[in-house]
């Protein structure tokens, strides 16, 4: 039985006696005074606004008293237990947590690594939520520990469960680490299971975007910060924000400093910006976090959308990106927006509220937009509107800075009205129509995006997709090397008019069986007198494709105008902060 450390309110002991089973063994010991106590496991984790049901990974839940006697309990809900402690002076709760998923918000165990997000797998009580916690790790002596928690040998400590749930850690003998300092703040970069790291270039780039973000806010909310970076051998792109750290998963590992390097910079800058935007500047509905229930908010376009916009923009402002690099990233958001017919049906505010329903899966076709994509584009337009009205004196950075330094918002959080009032205070113009039409409405973004681009001396051009299936047939296919399954189709396209459905598998063109050559056959017949053989719900169906004289799914490309007016040049230089053009 684990011993109770009197200096900590709750003591946890973690071990992985059989790594091949991928179960993390957890023991939790604490004193009790009441005869009955309720134990909880979080239902979700900050940074992913959906119910996760972490309790589905728990097995072998047992409770013992200080005499090592079994204590009765009942499961009260999907992730809570009521323990009948009786006259027990302390309790020792034992359980195992299945840990076979490796991403930026999970818990994972193997023979070479123990990676824990405490919010996944640590139980808590209402009585101890604000008390200190100690974690004893049973790990090999040669394993290093990467975390923002206080470390003493193989013991970690946190001053509260809120702090613990915000502090992931990685234990491994394959950890590589370097640090850099900006304005007296220590920033630590950790990689796990990576062969070679170009530290000089990496730190040079990280220093630049870090310094620029701190310069604009005036201070950093933490005394130190850790980038905990997984580089798995499989495809991965994921980041999760914390106050004193971030976890990033990016792979495959062989491409991290080659084809994926801009993604590494982008997600790192994005997660660093979150230290201010959501970890410090937080919606009222999430201050404090309620780990048991949904924390509904319509403000995802702020805490994720503005972060998406500013994360990449700071790579430009700091000189890490050139303007051409930045526009490649921004045009991805344009593409995603215009490819999604849901923009005609659901506002970004309503989609934010519904992340708890299906915000991280495809869901019903054309039902919702993205707080990341539409939020980013609206942040871009907001930035333009502020700069235009203030003659480039202020941008959206000033709004975020004022949000951060507001004592009332720091204590109670902010609402939509607070954000709108700050926009109007900084810009001197009304944003009511902007909120009505674009944030809480479904007006077309295209006119305001065109206005914003023109203000900065930029232009948007449309190029026909190189894929005949997209530009002429009007379908997008699910990624696959062996099958042609329809992911979505454009309204009014030949695919739409002939009755093709999402999920249909295309088997043949004009009775010619496909063998990885759909585009070639569509191009060969040039969509004249074409019929498709499809499989739908175990039925084989023939569909005659009508001819429509327009193209679909164009590719959006952003460029800097070759000839700019003096006003455009001034606006562009102010926005970019020079040095990146």
Contact between 485 and 477 under an 8 Å Cβ cutoff? The reply is yes
| 504, β-bridge pairs | none
Residue 103 has pLDDT above 70, yes or no: yes
Average pLDDT over residues 138-142: 97
Domains and CATH numbers, the chain: 10-173 (2.60.40.3650), 174-275 (1.10.390.10), 298-459 (1.10.390.10), 468-545 (2.30.42.10)
Per-residue pLDDT averaged across 90-94, rounded?
A: 98
pLDDT, residue 240, reads 99
DSSP states along 418-441: HHHHHHHHHHSS--HHHIIIIISS
pLDDT score for 316: 98
Q: Would you state the structure tokens that stand for residue 505, as one six-digit string? A: 């598998």
Residues sharing a CB contact under 8 Å with residue 120, sequence separation 6 or more, in sequence order: 42, 45, 52, 54, 57, 97, 105, 106, 107
Residue 526 is predicted with a pLDDT of 82
Q: How close are the terminal C-alpha atoms of the chain, in Å? A: 64
**SS3 per residue for 370-416:** CCCHHHHHHHHHHHHHHHHHCCCCCCHHHHHHHHHHCHHHHHHCECH
Cα–Cα dist 428/389, whole Å: 7
Strand partners, 485: 505
Handedness of CA 394, 400, 405, 406 (dihedral sign): positive
Res 116 pLDDT > 60: yes
Tell me the pLDDT tens digit for each residue of 50-70. 999 999 999 999 999 999 999
pLDDT band at 389 (very low <50, low <70, confident <90, very high): very high
Tens of pLDDT along 180-228? 999 999 999 999 988 899 999 999 999 999 999 999 999 999 999 999 9
Dump pLDDT digits (tens) for 296-322. 999 999 999 999 999 999 999 999 999
537 pLDDT above the threshold of 70: yes
- Which residues, at least 6 apart from 196, have a Cβ–Cβ distance to it below 8 Å? 257
Question: Which is nearest to 29 in space by CA: 58, 57, 71?
Answer: 71
Residue 4 has pLDDT above 70, yes or no: no
Kindly report whether the global pTM for this prediction surpasses the value 0.85: yes
Percent of the chain with pLDDT over 70: 98
Q: Is residue 270 scored above 70 in pLDDT?
A: yes
Q: CA Rg, the chain, in Å?
A: 26
pLDDT given at position 529: 85
CA 147 and chain centroid, separation = 20
What pLDDT shows up at residue 482? 87
Q: What residues have CB less than 8 Å from 499, skipping those under 6 apart?
A: 543
The string of pLDDT tens digits covering residues 483-529 is 999 999 999 999 999 999 999 999 999 999 999 999 999 999 987 78
pLDDT of residue 7: 57
The pair of three-digit structure tokens given for residue 521, joined into one six-digit string: 């056959």
């Amino acid at each position: 039985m684990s011993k109770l450390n009197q200096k900590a309110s709750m003591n946890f002991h973690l071990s992985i006696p059989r790594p091949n089973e991928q179960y993390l063994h957890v023991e939790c010991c604490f004193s009790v005074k009441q005869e009955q106590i309720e134990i909880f496991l979080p239902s979700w984790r900050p940074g992913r606004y959906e119910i996760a049901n972490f309790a589905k990974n728990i097995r072998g839940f047992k409770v013992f008293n200080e005499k090592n006697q079994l204590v009765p309990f009942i499961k009260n809900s999907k992730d809570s237990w009521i323990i009948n402690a009786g006259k027990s002076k302390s309790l020792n709760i034992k359980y195992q947590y299945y840990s076979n998923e490796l991403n930026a918000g999970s818990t994972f165990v193997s023979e070479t690594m123990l990676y824990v997000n405490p919010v996944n797998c640590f139980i808590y009580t209402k009585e101890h939520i604000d008390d200190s916690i100690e974690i004893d790790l049973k790990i090999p002596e040669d394993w290093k520990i990467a975390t923002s928690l206080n470390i003493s040998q193989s013991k970690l400590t946190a001053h509260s469960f809120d702090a613990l749930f915000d502090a992931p850690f990685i234990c491994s003998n394959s950890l590589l680490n370097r640090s850099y300092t900006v304005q007296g703040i220590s920033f630590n970069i950790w990689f796990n299971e990576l062969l070679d790291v170009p530290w000089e270039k990496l730190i040079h780039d990280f220093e630049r975007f870090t310094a620029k973000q701190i310069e604009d806010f005036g201070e950093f909310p933490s005394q130190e910060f850790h980038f905990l970076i997984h580089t798995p051998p499989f495809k991965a792109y994921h980041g999760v924000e914390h106050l004193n750290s971030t976890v990033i998963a990016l792979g495959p590992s062989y491409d991290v400093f080659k084809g994926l390097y801009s993604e590494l910079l982008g997600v790192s800058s994005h997660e660093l910006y979150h230290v201010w935007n959501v970890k410090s500047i937080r919606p009222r509905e999430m201050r404090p976090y309620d780990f048991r229930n949904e924390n509904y908010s319509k403000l995802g376009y702020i805490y994720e959308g503005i972060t998406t916009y500013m994360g990449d923009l700071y790579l430009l402002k700091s000189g890490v990106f050139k303007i051409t690099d930045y526009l490649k990233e921004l045009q991805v958001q344009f593409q995603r927006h215009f490819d999604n017919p849901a923009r005609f049906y659901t506002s970004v505010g309503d989609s934010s509220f519904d992340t708890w329903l299906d915000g991280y899966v495809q869901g019903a076709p054309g039902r919702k937009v993205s707080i990341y994509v539409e939020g980013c584009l609206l942040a871009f337009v907001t930035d333009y509107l502020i700069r235009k009205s203030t003659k480039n004196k202020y941008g959206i950075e000033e709004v975020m800075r004022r949000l951060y330094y507001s004592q009332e918002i720091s204590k109670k959080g902010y609402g939509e009205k607070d954000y709108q009032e700050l926009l109007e205070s900084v810009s001197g113009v009304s944003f009511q129509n902007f909120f009505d039409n674009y944030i809480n409405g479904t007006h077309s973004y295209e006119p305001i995006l065109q206005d914003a681009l023109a203000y900065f001396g930029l232009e948007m051009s449309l190029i026909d997709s190189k894929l005949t299936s997209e530009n002429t047939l009007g379908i997008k296919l699910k990624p696959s090397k062996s099958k042609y399954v329809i992911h979505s189709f454009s309204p009014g396209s030949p695919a739409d008019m002939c009755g093709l459905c999402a999920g249909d598998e295309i088997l043949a063109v004009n009775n010619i069986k496909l063998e990885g050559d759909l585009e070639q056959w569509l191009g060969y017949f040039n969509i004249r007198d074409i019929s498709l053989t499809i499989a739908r719900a175990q039925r084989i169906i023939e569909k005659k494709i009508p001819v429509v004289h327009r193209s679909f799914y164009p590719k959006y490309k952003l460029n800097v105008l070759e000839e700019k007016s003096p006003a455009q040049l001034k606006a562009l230089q102010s926005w970019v902060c020079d040095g990146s053009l």
